[in-house]
Amino acid sequence: MSNRLGRGAVGAIRGAFGNRLGTSIPAGIAALLLLPLPSLAHHPLGGRVPATFAEGFLSGLGHPVIGLDHLAFVVAAGLLAAVSAWGIAIPVVFVLTAMVGTGLHLAEVTLPMAELVIAGSVLGFGVLLACKDRPQSAVVAGLAAIAGLFHGFAYGEAIFGAQTMPLVAYLAGFTAMQMAIAIAAFWIGRQLSQRLNAVYIQRTGLVICGVGATFLATALLGALLPA
C-alpha cells in the first residue's frame, strides 16, 4: 500500500509541475519524502531502548531521517531559512527547542495533542514555503521554536528509560542529523533562489503541504477513531 501511495503521489506531483528542467528538484525532494518507510518509523532500534553510547548515537541519527514527518519539517525549516533574513538561525532555534522538548518527555511532562501539532507544523511550514508573502523572520523562528518542543517531545519516546550515556549520545545524534539536513536544505534553497527561481521553493512547499496534510488527516482519524 505504501509503495502505491508513494508512486501515486509522486506521479500527481509530476503531473502538476510538468516535465520542465527546473521541476526535477521539487520532484526529487518529493520522491525522497515519499519513499516507503518501515512500520516502526520512529524507532530506529525496532522499539528497543538504546543501551550503549553507540546505540544511542545511531538511534539519534536515524530518528530524524526515518520519521517522515520530522524529515519533512526539517527540510522545510532549512528551505525557509534560505529565503528568510534570519537565515540558518531558524533551524538552529528548532533544533535547540527540540532538545528541550525531549527533556520535557524524559521529565514526564506531557504536551497535549503532540501528533496533531507535529503534523500541523509540517503542513504550516509547507504553506509558508508555498506563499510569496511570508511573515517576518521573528515570527517564523517563533513557530519553529514551538514546533521544536513537540518534535523533540516525540523524539523522547525512543529514549525514555535509557541510562545517561546512551541518552546523551541520542541527543547528540539527532541534533547533528537535524542540523546536517537543515544545512543541506538551506544550501539547496539558496541555489534555487539565486541561480534559478524562487518559484521552485514554492513548489517544494506544495509537496511538503501534501505530506503534512496526510499526517494531519491520519492523526485526526486516530484521535476521532482510536484503535
Number of residues that make up the chain: 227
* pLDDT tens profile 176-210: 999 999 999 999 999 888 876 778 888 899 999 99
CA atoms within 13 A on the CB side of 194: 8
Mean pLDDT (whole number) for 13-32: 47
**CA distances to 46, 160, 190 from 51, in Å:** 13, 11, 40
**Among 19-23, 56-60, 168-172, which is the least confidently predicted range?**
19-23
How would you classify residue 145: left for phi > 0, otherwise alpha for psi between -120 and 50, otherwise beta?
alpha
pLDDT of 152 = 95
pLDDT at 45 over 60: yes
pLDDT at 5 over 50: no
pLDDT of 140 = 96
Helices (H), 34-163: 53-66, 68-82, 89-106, 114-130, 137-155
Rounded to an integer, what distance in angstroms lies between the CA atom of residue 98 and that of residue 154?
9
Q: How far apart are the first and last CA of the chain?
A: 19
Rounded to an integer, what distance in angstroms lies between the CA atom of residue 103 and that of residue 108?
9
pLDDT of 83 = 92
pLDDT of 160 = 87
* pLDDT tens profile 75-104: 999 999 999 999 999 999 999 999 999 999
**If pLDDT is split at 50, 70 and 90, which confidence band does 126 have?**
very high
pLDDT of 7 = 44
pLDDT at 54 over 80: yes
Query: Which has more pLDDT, 8 or 63?
Result: 63
